[in-house]
Chains A and B, each alone.
Chain A
């Protein structure tokens, strides 16, 4: 690979990043256009792009996303999430802070199993309904749910797309995420609730008459198809079991998700074309484009050069490398989409893990995941879920400005990242 190709690949990559960040062109067009240019200049080729496990499209990631999108697409038709949200609000006796706590916990748990955008799309309308009934401003509740979604998504392999990329590139299993990140995500959810009590202290005005209106909601009416609900939950349970039992059954997460999606379509009355209609094809194409572009950077030696520079900068010190990874990932994910960020950083992290070596190698992956997932909470554009909720709030005449969100996002991110740094240090260095 010649030197000019490395520079050309870097220039294409930088230009595409600018286009993605500025949204001058649609991100899918930018990623696919960039991939096409990488192929055109010879920075990568068809063999590498389509068939290489190291420098090509990561089909495990693409098909895991595809399978989960199909399963979630069927599940959301059942109304189970609306049922759960309203049921929990009624259990909270419609007392505002308890309502927020219930919705935050439901969002965090759901985000661990579903993608964050789907979760907030399901929870936000229920939140608006409840706040309308309670005559409360919905913004604090919606913002808290976004934070919970990004924190909950950190907990599992399937919770957030960056985790899927990290798992595939690092060879980490569903159980690895459960053991290493889920306890921290649970702790951060509790911390988030404590912060919400303080940050939104003016939002919890209780009115008994208004509360009675919430108690009058009939959550059972939300269930549209009980049979489909039973089938969907059974398949979801099987899929989670498939993820957890990986050491026994040895199915890759992508295979488990695809088998689950296929089983759900086979046993339910949902047509295959309807299940496939819920798949976000543009997102999958975006991933494919990114993988080809990052693969070109690997093929041309750019990634190796960057990795070496980072290794030199941290002096091979595992703790310095971990904290640098956590901090840099947090800041960058607050500004740019964390999916392209992690797609780019994954091969660099793999090199750094190799340089640092055992027993501290794996902690770099956790630092990358935590920084990328939690950093998304810092600003209104830090994660897709943030943008989606702000759009819903705007359409419902409860606008949340960029700065309103960010005013709460920065302290929440600072505290959650500080706790994460402490967690990484204690668990992987002090007690190692």
Chain B
């Protein structure tokens, strides 16, 4: 089985979309992260849900975690206000790694090796032009999650 067969449609969000929309998408779909794509629809980064949670926590609490205890619960209800007006590109960490990409023709073992070496639970699958010398941009087919890959490998082992 090839990466194109394993790839499943995966939610994406654009760099200039609202951070609150990204948060809603992650919450509604219960995703660990969302693929961030550029204007051509190509993956630029993975925005983990934990990064958005980090943005909700006031900076002074990150500086001194003991302050979290002194803040009353009423403040927690307003934490999401921190994302208001922010674009997705502003939420990405400065040292955000590029998303891990697999070719549509990669084998299952290649995808597993890629996932293992990059320690990522999410691999984006790209269909690249057959002749690389000709013009044409790659196309995002979807993504393979570690859970999907494991499910496929377990089924194959039966």
Give the interface of A toward B (CB within 8 A). 79, 82, 86, 121-122, 124-126, 128-129, 132, 213, 216-219, 221-222, 224, 392, 395-397
Residues of B within 8 A of A126 (CB): 60, 64, 67
- CB of A117, distance to nearest CB on chain B (Å): 13
Tell me whether A395 and B70 are in contact in the complex, defined as CB-CB below 8 angstroms, given that A129-B58, A132-B58 are known contacts.
no
> Which residues, 64 to 108 on B, are CB-close (under 8 Å) to A?
64, 66-67, 69-72, 74-75
Residue of B nearest to A224 (CB): B66
B9 within 8 A of A: no
Known A128-B58, A132-B58; 16 more pairs at CB < 8 Å: A82-B66, A86-B70, A122-B64, A125-B60, A125-B61, A125-B63, A126-B60, A129-B58, A218-B70, A221-B69, A222-B70, A224-B66, A395-B62, A396-B58, A396-B59, A397-B59
Q: A392 near B63 (CB under 8 angstroms)? A: yes
> Which residues, 19 to 69 on B, are CB-close (under 8 Å) to A?
58-64, 66-67, 69
Interface residues on B, range: 10 to 19
Give the interface of B toward A (CB within 8 A). 58-64, 66-67, 69-72, 74-75
A216 to B58, CA, bound (A): 17
- CB of A83, distance to nearest CB on chain B (Å): 9
Q: B72 near A395 (CB under 8 angstroms)? A: no
A313 to B63, CA, bound (A): 49
A217 to B66, CA, bound (A): 13
A119 to B70, CA, bound (A): 19
A392 to B61, CA, bound (A): 12
Residues of B within 8 A of A218 (CB): 69-70, 72
- CB of A153, distance to nearest CB on chain B (Å): 21
- CB of B56, distance to nearest CB on chain A (Å): 14
A22 to B75, CA, bound (A): 43
Residues of A within 8 A of B62 (CB): 395
A126 to B68, CA, bound (A): 11
Q: B59 near A82 (CB under 8 angstroms)? A: no
Residue of A nearest to B72 (CB): A216
